[in-house]
Amino acid sequence: MGKLTTHILDTSVGRPAQGVKINLYRREGLDSVLINSAQTNSDGRCDEPLLSGGEFSAACYELEFSVDEYFNSKNIECPFLKDVVIRFYISEENENYHVPLLISPFSYSTYRGS
């Protein structure tokens, strides 16, 4: 079985983003159902995979990153981004999916990592 992980880097300071709250949702029709919540550690990663084992299945998912709270904790005003939501699809249940997030107060980017 595969697993889902993430990693957040704050490109405005060139460091991992610690303390970012993450919610993972599974899309069911038009609804988003919360299936896990986590917070990033000092390396910008979660201590455990966000999804693994029997819960890891082919479906549409959304990762919601609370970047506003992160930037506020750093005393950085961030009126442009409040949260970042990435919708993606798991199609191969035997592969690992890594969804990194690169953030700054005015932009973000993501990709499928390994």
Distance of CA 109 to the CA centre of its chain: 11
47-95 confidence digits (pLDDT tens)? 999 999 989 999 999 999 999 999 999 998 877 889 999 999 999 999 9
Considering only the top CATH level, what class is 3-110? mainly beta
Element (H, E) at 37: strand 31-39
pTM above 0.85, yes or no: yes
Cβ neighbours of 56 (radius 10 Å): 20
- Sorted by where each begins, the domain ranges of the chain are 3-110
